[in-house]
């Protein structure tokens, strides 16, 4: 599995610290230079993020060949230390955290199907092939593979991730969405 970090902001390092930025300490941690921002934007230093906001780091993880993911079934993969359910559905690839927010059970193994919606006033059902869901195999809660939202209780959401296919390889962008 190949992990490629992608950050939204570049960190400027002084020349003498840049050489040591990749060295590992006694506990195996990568030494990072300290950045002190004592001045404002006028001294050329980047302004700190507003209070309460974090910079989100995105990591692109190669989770396998597209042929490793059979149509209409969920496959568990590890990406950046997290269990992720990857699903191929009608030419699209989806990735969702393999953790049902209802009672913290795995989603892999659950049925993958088109979303079914109803119109109460006419007692008719509609099938939406463009919004597939995964059904939790433990308690049958349905989660949209596109958004991670629970179909019956929108206050519950499983984490969903952006996915791309590059040269026949499935790439999951951890930290996105």
pLDDT in tens, 14-31: 344 344 444 444 444 343
Cα–chain center distance at 69: 17
pLDDT greater than 70 at residue 111: yes
Residue-wise pLDDT tens digits, 78-93: 999 999 999 999 999 9
Q: How high is the mean pLDDT of the chain?
A: 77
Which tops the pLDDT comparison, 166 or 21? 166
Q: Which of 29, 22, 170 is nearest to 93 (CA)?
A: 170
Distance of CA 32 to the CA centre of its chain: 25
Tell me which of 2.102.10.10, 3.40.50.150, 1.10.10.60, 3.20.10.10 is the CATH number of domain 1-177: 2.102.10.10
Give residue limits of the domains in the chain.
Answer: 1-177
Query: Tens digits of per-residue pLDDT, 133-165?
Result: 999 999 999 999 999 999 989 899 999 999 999
Q: Is the pLDDT of residue 6 over 70?
A: no
Answer with the residue of higher pLDDT: 27 or 36.
27
pLDDT at 99: 95
Q: 76 pairs with which residues across the strands?
A: 85
Residue-wise pLDDT for 48-86, tens only, equals: 556 666 656 789 999 999 999 999 999 999 999 999 999
Tokens at residue 163, please? 């996915």
Strand partners, 4: 60
Rounded Cα distance between 3 and 172, Å, is 10
- The phi-psi region of residue 136 (left if phi > 0; otherwise alpha if psi is between -120 and 50; otherwise beta) is beta
């Amino acid at each position: 599995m190949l992990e490629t970090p992608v950050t939204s902001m570049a960190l400027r390092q002084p020349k003498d610290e840049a050489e040591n930025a990749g060295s590992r300490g006694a506990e195996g941690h990568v030494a990072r230079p300290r950045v002190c921002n004592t001045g404002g934007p006028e001294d050329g230093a980047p302004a700190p993020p507003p209070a309460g906001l974090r910079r989100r780091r995105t990591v692109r993880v190669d989770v396998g060949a597209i042929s490793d993911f059979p149509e209409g079934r969920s496959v568990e993969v590890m990406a950046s230390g997290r269990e992720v359910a990857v699903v191929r559905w009608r030419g699209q690839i989806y990735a969702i955290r393999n953790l049902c927010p209802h009672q913290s059970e795995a989603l892999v193994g659950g049925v993958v199907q088109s979303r079914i919606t109803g119109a109460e006033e006419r007692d008719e059902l509609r099938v939406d092939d463009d919004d597939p869901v995964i059904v939790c195999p433990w308690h049958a809660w349905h989660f949209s593979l596109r958004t991670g939202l629970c179909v019956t209780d929108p206050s519950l959401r499983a984490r969903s991730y952006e996915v791309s296919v590059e040269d026949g390889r499935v790439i999951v962008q951890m930290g996105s969405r």
